[in-house]
Amino acid sequence: MFIRIFWYDPSLSTIPIDNFVAPVCLEKIGILFEDEFLLAINKPSGLLSLSGKNPLNKDSVHYRLAQQYSDIRLTHRLDLGTSGIMLLAKNKEINAHLTKQFQARSVIKRYVSILAGELQDSEGLIDLPIAKDKLLFPRLKICHQDGKSAQSHFQVSARLNQPVATEVMFTPLTGRTHQLRIHSQAIGHPIIGCDLYGTEATQKMALRLMLHAFDITFDHPNSQQRMTLSSPCPF
């Protein structure tokens, strides 16, 4: 479980400062696929995707891999608590090619998650706009007036007991920050283990965020072949 501490800069009055320091992550990054153009890795839960501004948050996926791959570039990110597959480019040109695919929304990502409580529907689309919450940084919020469009498709994989929970497969149709976490909260079923959008009870139900990037489908930047890479779910 990760705990964030906030303090207020008097000169900024109402803007809170995130003083969060990530705990040490001892798990190693797993290599799922590699060729001369790209790298697909399994990110452990508890490891930052990119080093933070705070020097105590230097350890990250990018920092570790840059020791071996001098021009490695993140094509997307996963939240600290999220585990699973990440796609990285080995040079600027490959990164640009993959970035265009993300922008065109031709990349398909799927996530396994365990939500608190029992979802009534076996499948559905969550279509709720997301905006920054200036008073509760780094949290975001659902806002129909100023929020950016965000859609998440879900399909129930299993219904669990003791405690009552629901395993779902998420397919985000957009890529907003915290999208799956805040969408789950918005429908009344927060992701178990979520420190930002869960209740005190649902946070204590797991030692980690129960969200895993299961697979990713994209066009290979050199061969143009459509390919899917996956990472087995650890929970």
pLDDT tens, position by position, 3-12: 444 444 444 4
Sign of the C-alpha dihedral, residues 203, 206, 209, 210?
negative
Confidence (pLDDT) at 137: 84
Hey, what's the torsion of the CAs at 91, 96, 99, 100, to 10 degrees?
A: -150
**Nearest alpha carbon to residue 44 among 56, 68, 23, 61:** 61
β-bridge partners, 218? 227
DSSP string, 171-216: EESS--TTHHHHHHHHTT-PBTT-TTTS-HHHHTT-SS--EEEEEE
pLDDT digits (tens, 9 = 90+) for 30-40: 999 999 999 99
pLDDT digits (tens, 9 = 90+) for 40-96: 999 999 999 999 989 999 999 999 999 999 999 999 999 999 999 999 999 999 999
Q: Angle at CA 136, nearest 5°, toward 111 and 168?
A: 15
Q: Which of 18, 35, 71, 79 is catalytic?
A: 79
**Nearest alpha carbon to residue 27 among 234, 170, 229:** 234
**Nearest alpha carbon to residue 77 among 101, 59, 60, 92:** 60
Rg (alpha carbons) of the chain, rounded to whole number: 18
pLDDT digits (tens, 9 = 90+) for 103-152: 999 999 999 999 999 999 999 999 999 999 988 888 999 999 999 999 99
Tell me the C-alpha distance between 126 and 91, whole Å. Answer: 36
Domains of the chain by range and CATH?
Answer: 6-230 (3.30.2350.10)
Is 219 marked active-site? no
- Tell me which residue has tokens 């009552």: 164
pLDDT band at 17 (very low <50, low <70, confident <90, very high): low
Confidence (pLDDT) at 164: 97
